[in-house]
Structure formats: structure tokens, C-alpha cells
């Protein structure tokens, strides 16, 4: 039986969902079973052997759906290999250096004994929800700073660690 991995994500404007899909795609290429699903739509974690959870960053916090997911499924998550990712910075900083998890997420990582965390660049483009988002875009501070080569590399390290655990 192949290892079944859930990639759950919290998103407002869809860009974190695309990162989660890219992670799941790499895991499938590495011969694992993987599906990416919105964190709020996952009723149960026990059908999965391992979990990756991602969330967009909003006002210094991880996405609410992702935070709720960690809380709601904490018992099952603490017993499974777990990786986390954030996506946020609207500049190249995430590709240039390691950006640590926001404080609340760092505490959750310790509680759940997570294997790792990475911050990827974010994306904010025309059509994003909310007036703050529209102001950022209007002021020329939006853009797509996701580095899919880096995202895929990270997903391969997750796959390698999972295969090593088998």
C-alpha cells in the first residue's frame, strides 16, 4: 500500500491552493498517493498517513482555516508525520532566505511535533478580495512571488523523508 498524504490549505485568493496542488503533484510523481483539499472541507484526518498543511499569511497570522484545521485535528496530527508551509511575502525575500513561521504557528509546530516548515513567496493579483488587497495592487505592491522550482524542491524533500520513514 502506498503512503496516503493530505495536503490541506487555507486560502483567500487562491494562490496557496495552487501551491498545495503543486506539492501534491510532486508527491504523486514520487509514487505517493496525495490529494490537496481546502482545510475547511476536511472532516477527518485518520484516512491519511501523513499531512502537509499550508496557509496564506494575513496581517501577521496564518490563514484562519489552517489554524482551525490544526486545532480541530490536533490529536490525529500529533500522531502523524506533519509538515507546514506559509505563503505570504510580496517580494523576493522568501526565495533569498529562510523566513521562520509566525509565532502562533511556531508554537503549534512544537505542540504537534511537526517535521518542518517553510515560507514561500506570496501572490496578490487583480481581482483579489478586500479593499486592503486592492490598495496594495493599486500601489504597485502586488505580483506573483511564488517560486515553483523551490516549492517542488521542498515537496521532494517531504517525499524523501516519508519514504525514509517507511
Residues in touch with ligand FMN (CB under 6 A) = 11-16, 56-60, 87-90, 122-124, 130, 132-133, 136
Shortest distance, position 8 Cβ to ligand FMN, whole Å? 13
Shortest distance, position 160 Cβ to ligand FMN, whole Å? 26
Asked if 143 and 125 touch (Cβ cutoff 8 Å), the reply is: yes
Q: Which is nearer to ligand FMN, 85 or 162 (CB)?
A: 85
CB atoms within 10 A of CB 61: 16
Q: Which is nearer to ligand FMN, 11 or 115 (CB)?
A: 11
Shortest distance, position 162 Cβ to ligand FMN, whole Å? 24
Can you list the pairs that 67-73 forms with residues at least 24 positions away whose Cβ atoms lie under 8 Å? 67/10, 67/104, 67/105, 67/108, 68/39, 68/40, 69/8, 69/10, 69/39, 69/40, 69/42, 70/108, 70/112, 73/42, 73/45
Shortest distance, position 127 Cβ to ligand FMN, whole Å? 11
Q: Which is nearer to ligand FMN, 3 or 11 (CB)?
A: 11
Amino acid at each position: 500500500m502506498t503512503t496516503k498524504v493530505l495536503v490541506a490549505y487555507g486560502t483567500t485568493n487562491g494562490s496557496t491552493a495552487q501551491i498545495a496542488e503543486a506539492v501534491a503533484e510532486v508527491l504523486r510523481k514520487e509514487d505517493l498517493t496525495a490529494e490537496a483539499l481546502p482545510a475547511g472541507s476536511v472532516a477527518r484526518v485518520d484516512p491519511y498517513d501523513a499531512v502537509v498543511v499550508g496557509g496564506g499569511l494575513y496581517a501577521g497570522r496564518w490563514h484562519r482555516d489552517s489554524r482551525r484545521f490544526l486545532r480541530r485535528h490536533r490529536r490525529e496530527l500529533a500522531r502523524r508525520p506533519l509538515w507546514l508551509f506559509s505563503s505570504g511575502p510580496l517580494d523576493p525575500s522568501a526565495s533569498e532566505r529562510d523566513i521562520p513561521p509566525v509565532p502562533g504557528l511556531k508554537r503549534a509546530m512544537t505542540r504537534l511535533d511537526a517535521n518542518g516548515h517553510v515560507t514561500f513567496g506570496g501572490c496578490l493579483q487583480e481581482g483579489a478580495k478586500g479593499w486592503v488587497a486592492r490598495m496594495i495592487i493599486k500601489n504597485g505592491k502586488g505580483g506573483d512571488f511564488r517560486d515553483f522550482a523551490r516549492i517542488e524542491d521542498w515537496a521532494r524533500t517531504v517525499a524523501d523523508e516519508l519514504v525514509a520513514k517507511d
